[in-house]
Amino acid sequence: MKLDGTNTLPAPMETVWNTINDPEALRRCTPGLKDLTPAGPDKYQATLSIGIAAVKGTYAGTLTITDKQAPKHYKIVLEGSGGAGFMKGEGIVDLEPQGNETLLRWTGDIQIGGLIAGVGQRMLSGVGKMLIGQFFKCLEQQFGGAAGAPPSGRPGSGHGDR
């Protein structure tokens, strides 16, 4: 499943870069993230509890940041599994200054397998988009820009399932 999108964040590029490298900010903004423990340089153990309505699952895995080109580019690699299935994903983030704001472009390629993929297939890309949207909305709020956040930050600007 490939997803991509752009978000304009109301902060200078350096600030955005620091925030998206700050474990505390990631912990606050990643939907369902219960625990994020450092496990080496740019490597974390993560526990996620994700679900909608009655369908809930807990996933344990690792999050690694690679290919760092401060302050404009990195790659995030996620691997996790739980009772309902497993997921592997890569996300690439690129920052670009836009006056006092920062344009964040992201692309993700996520593979989800196991029971949840078989049963929830219909909703995976939509729910994925929704969760990523929640993440960016939270990031915007980190910069105090919630009220004036430009509409380009909405998850619908991404395209699912190409």
The set of residues, in sequence order, having a beta carbon less than 8 Å from that of 88 and lying 6+ positions away, is 78, 79, 110, 111
- Return the number of other C-beta atoms located less than 10 Å from residue 145's C-beta: 17
Check binding of 111 to another protein (CB under 8 A): no
Query: If you search the block for the tokens 């309505």, which residue do you land on?
Result: 53
Stretch (H or E) spanning 17: helix 13-19
Report yes or no: 19 and 143 within 8 Å, Cβ to Cβ: yes
Q: What is the Cα–Cα distance from 79 to 73, expressed in whole angstroms?
A: 20
| Residue 57, strand partner residues | 50
Check binding of 5 to another protein (CB under 8 A): no
Least separation in angstroms between CB 66 and another protein: 28
With 0-12 CB in 10 A as exposed, 13-18 as middle and 19+ as buried, what is 118? exposed
Check binding of 38 to another protein (CB under 8 A): no
User: Which residue, 55 or 70, has its beta carbon nearer to another protein?
Assistant: 55
User: Which residue, 53 or 147, has its beta carbon nearer to another protein?
Assistant: 53
Reduced to 3 states (helix: H, G, I; strand: E, B; else coil), residue 137 is: helix
Stretch that binds another protein, among 20-28, 40-48, 121-129, 139-147 (CB under 8 A): 121-129
User: Which residue, 25 or 117, has its beta carbon nearer to another protein?
Assistant: 117
- Residue 143 structure tokens: 């910069």
Check binding of 84 to another protein (CB under 8 A): yes
Check binding of 41 to another protein (CB under 8 A): no
**Which listed residue (24, 115, 150, 152) binds another protein by CB under 8 A?**
115
Q: What is the Cα–Cα distance from 106 to 73, expressed in whole angstroms?
A: 10
User: Which residue, 60 or 131, has its beta carbon nearer to another protein?
Assistant: 131
Check binding of 129 to another protein (CB under 8 A): yes
**Which listed residue (126, 144, 146, 150) binds another protein by CB under 8 A?**
126
Interface contacts to another protein, rule CB under 8 A: 52-57, 83-84, 115-116, 119-127, 129-130, 156, 159-162
